[in-house]
Amino acid sequence: MSQDKLIYEAQRWLDTAAEDLDEFSHACFFAQQCGEKALKALWYFLGEDPWGDSIQKLIAELPDEKARETMADLLETGSALDRYYLPTRYPNGLPDLTPGKYYFQKDADLAIGSARRILDSVKACVGLR
């Protein structure tokens, strides 16, 4: 890698490190984490050991048919949240931008709303509120 490219990459990583202190990208990532953890809780409730980070996959492969049917309408929501797993955290996940320059309040609001829908649906499945 050329010296200019190394300096460019170093700057992108430093920018991302500074943005980590207060950015919408984090809200998007933590919304993905909320959905993933809620679904893993459902898997454990159903007596299974979940594996993987994809919300869409965790829904699609739920080991209980009734739970799978209940959660099926959230497959697209899960897919949308899955898109926040890597690029919200690393500058090499986006072309020429850092996460703090790519995600906005609207993205964070949508992600949080999606995560809440999944969390509420899981709570309903396990009989908790």
- What number is the average pLDDT over the span 3-16? 87
pLDDT tier at 21, thresholds 50, 70, 90: confident
How many domains is the chain partitioned into structurally? 1
**What does the pLDDT look like over 49-91, one tens digit per residue?**
999 999 999 999 999 999 999 999 999 999 999 999 999 999 9
What lies within 8 Å, CB to CB, of 58 at 6+ separation is: 36, 39, 40, 43, 50, 52, 78
Q: Which domain holds residue 65?
A: 3-126
Q: How far apart are CA 110 and CA 108, in angstroms?
A: 6
Domain of 65, CATH number, reads 1.20.120.330
- pTM assigned to the model: 0.87
Assigned token pair, 56: 């869409």
pLDDT at 12 over 90: no
